[in-house]
Chains A and B, each alone.
Chain A
C-alpha cells in the first residue's frame, strides 16, 4: 500500500466544517457504528475465508481430510508442487495469453465502436446504443449458452453460414479443437465486454473540447492526427482504468469456460486458472493444491488492483 499516492488532502482527518468543535462525544462513535454492519459481514464472509485460503494452501488436504482426519502443515510444498508441474505453467500461460488477447480486442473494438457512435447520425446512433445495451444486459450464462448454440456442431447457424459461402463446415466441431475453442470463448468474452468499454469511451469522447479539435483541424491535422494528438491524450486516464478493469475481469473468466468445456471442449487442453483451480478442488478433491493455484491468481490480480487504484486516486479525491 506504500506505493499509493496520498489519498486525501491533509485536512481530511480533521472534522469537516459544520460539524465543528462543539460536536458532542457520542457523535464521534457514530460513523464507526454506521460502518459496523457492512464491516462485520465483509470480515466474516470475506476476510476470514481469505485467511483460510492461505492456510489451506499450506496444508495437506486431500481425500483423507475430507473424512475428518486433521490436516498436516506442509509449508510451501503445495506451491513447489504446482511450480514443478508443467501443467500449471501451461494453464498460467494460457490464462495470460487469453486475457491479453481479450483485453486488446475489447479495447480496440470498443474504441472503434465509440468513435463510430460519435460519427454516425441520430437514428443510427440510437440503434447502436440500444443494441449495445442488449448485449451488455444479457446474463453471462444466457449469452454463453446462446453462443454455444450458434456454434453447435449439427444445427449451429455459424456452420450453416460458412457452408453457404462455400466452406465445408457440415458437422464441424468448434469446441473439440483447443484453438477454435479459445476462438469461441474469445468471441463470447469480447462480445460481452465491448458495450461497457464503448459506452465509457463514448462518454469520454463527448467531453473532448470542441475548440481544441477545431484548432487542430485549422492547423491542418487530419483525422488520424487529431485522434493521436488530441483525443488519445485526453482519454488517457479513462483508457488506463478501462484496461485495468478489463484485465481484472478477463483474468477471472469462469462461466464461459465451464459451459464450453461441458459442451464438448477437452478440459485438460482448455483450462484457464479459474476452472483449473475449481477442477483441482471439486473434481479431484485436491483442495490444498487448488487453494495454492487460487492464491497465485489472487496475487496476479493484486498487481493490477494496485495499478487500478493508483489511477482511480489520481482521478478523484476519496
Chain B
C-alpha cells in the first residue's frame, strides 16, 4: 500500500447508462468547491513547514517587523550560525546520534529475533507474548517517566547514554517487533522449505531466502525507529538533565526558552536542522509503515 502511487480504483465509478456529458455538467459546481477545499488543505498542511524554513533564513530586522515577509528577500545564514553557537549544539547532535543509532541497531536485532520466533514457530506462550507486545505499545511513556527516573537513578544510569538508550529501546521495541513480525510472515514458509530441500540448513534457508526478501521491511522499520528516538522529548528532558547531556529536542527547547526572549530566527534554524533528516527519512519509508501502524486494519 504505497500512498504516493495513485490507486487503481481512483475514478468514482460511473453508471454505464449515464453519458459523460451529462456527468460533467452535473458535477461541475461541486468540483470547484472540492478543488478549492483541497487547495486550502494543502496550504494549511504545508504552511508551518514553509514558515519555519522561511523564518530561518531571515534577518532579525525582517523577522521583527510589523509586516511579515513571506519570502526571505534578504536571505542570510546568520541564524544557522547562531544555532550552531547556541549552547552546545554539536554535543547535542552527537548525543542524539549516538543514542538514536545504538537504539536502532539493537532494536532491529532483538526485534528480528523475536519476530522470527512468533511468526515461524508455534509454541506455548506465543499468543501471550504477542498480546503483551500490543499492550506494552499502548503504555503512555508519560505515565512511566516518574518511576523510570527513580529506577535508572538507582542504577546510576541517569545522565548516561546507556540509560537513555535502554529507555528508547523499550519505547521502540514493541512497535518494531509487531511490524517485523508482519514482514517475516509475508515471506512464505514454502520458500524456506524449498531451499531446505535443496540442501540448505534451516539457518541458511532463513539468511539466504527470507532475510533478503524482507530487507526493505527491515530498512523501513529501522528508519521509523530512528525517527521515534530522534524526536523523543519527554524522557530526554527528564533523564538527561545536565546541559552537556542534552539531545537535540531538549537543546532546541532550551534555546526556545531563552531568557532574553525567544530569538525566532535562531530557533527556526535549529528546528529546521532537527526536522530535515526526519522529513527526508519519513518520505522514503512512509508507504511501508502505514500498513504496519494500523496492523492490517484495512482488510477488505
Residues of A within 8 A of B (CB): 1, 4, 7-8, 12-16, 18-19, 28, 30-32, 34-35, 37-39, 41-42, 44-46, 48-50, 52-53, 56, 113, 116-122, 124-143, 145-150, 152, 154-155, 157, 160, 191, 194-196, 199-200, 202-204, 206-207, 209-211, 213-214, 217-218, 237-238, 241-242, 248, 251-252, 254-255, 258-259, 262-263, 273-274, 277-278, 281-282, 287, 290-291, 294-295, 297-298, 301, 304-305, 308-309, 311-312, 315-316, 318
- The answer on a CB contact under 8 Å between A145 and B131 is no
- The answer on a CB contact under 8 Å between B298 and A238 is yes
A-side contacts of B278, CB under 8 Å: 137-139
Which chain B residue has the least Cβ–Cβ distance from A139?
B231
Which chain B residue has the least Cβ–Cβ distance from A28?
B123
- The answer on a CB contact under 8 Å between A262 and B257 is yes
Q: Scoring B residues 118 to 146 as 1 if CB is less than 8 Å from chain A, else 0, what string do you get? A: 10111111110111101110111111111
Measured in the bound complex, the distance between the Cα atoms of B294 and A198 in whole Å is 12
Q: Which of B4-58 contact A (CB under 8 A)?
A: 4, 6-7, 9-10, 12-13, 15, 34-35, 37-39, 41-42, 44-46, 48-49, 51-52, 55
One of B73-81, B87-95, B167-175, B214-222 contacting the partner:
B167-175
- The answer on a CB contact under 8 Å between A120 and B35 is yes
A-side contacts of B45, CB under 8 Å: 128, 131-132, 134-135, 191, 194-195
Q: 6 more A-B contacts (CB under 8 A) besides A116-B41, A131-B42, A277-B143?
A: A34-B113, A128-B42, A142-B271, A202-B3, A298-B143, A318-B127
- The answer on a CB contact under 8 Å between B146 and A200 is no
Majority secondary structure, B binding face:
helix
Q: How far is the CB of B107 from chain A (nearest CB, A)?
A: 9
Give which listed residue, A46, A146, A237, A312, contacts B48 with CB less than 8 A.
A146
Measured in the bound complex, the distance between the Cα atoms of B132 and A284 in whole Å is 34
Give which listed residue, B39, B143, B151, B173, contacts A252 with CB less than 8 A.
B143
Is B234 an interface position by the 8 A CB rule?
yes
Q: Scoring B residues 260 to 281 as 1 if CB is less than 8 Å from chain A, else 0, what string do you get? A: 0010100110011011001100
Measured in the bound complex, the distance between the Cα atoms of B38 and A190 in whole Å is 17
Q: Which of B241-300 contact A (CB under 8 A)?
A: 249, 252-253, 256-257, 262, 264, 267-268, 271-272, 274-275, 278-279, 282-283, 286, 290, 293-300
Is B104 an interface position by the 8 A CB rule?
no
- The answer on a CB contact under 8 Å between A149 and B268 is yes
Q: How far is the CB of A134 from chain B (nearest CB, A)?
A: 5
- The answer on a CB contact under 8 Å between B68 and A138 is no
- The answer on a CB contact under 8 Å between A309 and B231 is no
Measured in the bound complex, the distance between the Cα atoms of B68 and A154 in whole Å is 11
Q: Scoring B residues 170 to 198 as 1 if CB is less than 8 Å from chain A, else 0, what string do you get? A: 10011001000000000001000100000
B-side contacts of A308, CB under 8 Å: 138
- The answer on a CB contact under 8 Å between B122 and A12 is yes
Q: 8 A-B contacts, Cβ less than 8 Å apart? A: A38-B114, A46-B136, A121-B35, A134-B49, A139-B231, A139-B249, A157-B51, A238-B298
Is B209 an interface position by the 8 A CB rule?
no
Is B166 an interface position by the 8 A CB rule?
yes
- The answer on a CB contact under 8 Å between A309 and B42 is no
- The answer on a CB contact under 8 Å between A50 and B147 is yes
Measured in the bound complex, the distance between the Cα atoms of B268 and A147 in whole Å is 11
Which chain B residue has the least Cβ–Cβ distance from A295?
B143
Majority secondary structure, A binding face:
helix
A-side contacts of B67, CB under 8 Å: 160
A-side contacts of B126, CB under 8 Å: 8, 12, 31
Q: Which among B42, B64, B169, B230 has the greatest number of chain A C-beta atoms within 10 A?
A: B42
Q: Which among B10, B38, B64, B126 has the greatest number of chain A C-beta atoms within 10 A?
A: B38
Q: Which 7 A-B pairs have the closest CB atoms?
A: A137-B282, A252-B140, A34-B117, A53-B147, A31-B121, A274-B142, A131-B45
Give which listed residue, A41, A126, A149, contacts B169 with CB less than 8 A.
A41
- The answer on a CB contact under 8 Å between B48 and A294 is no
- The answer on a CB contact under 8 Å between B139 and A301 is yes
Is B213 an interface position by the 8 A CB rule?
no
- The answer on a CB contact under 8 Å between A139 and B48 is no
Is B148 an interface position by the 8 A CB rule?
yes
- The answer on a CB contact under 8 Å between A42 and B140 is no
- The answer on a CB contact under 8 Å between B253 and A41 is no
A298-B140 in contact given A34-B114, A312-B134 (Cβ < 8 Å) = yes
Q: How far is the CB of B172 from chain A (nearest CB, A)?
A: 11
Measured in the bound complex, the distance between the Cα atoms of B67 and A16 in whole Å is 69
- The answer on a CB contact under 8 Å between B177 and A155 is no
- The answer on a CB contact under 8 Å between B296 and A141 is no
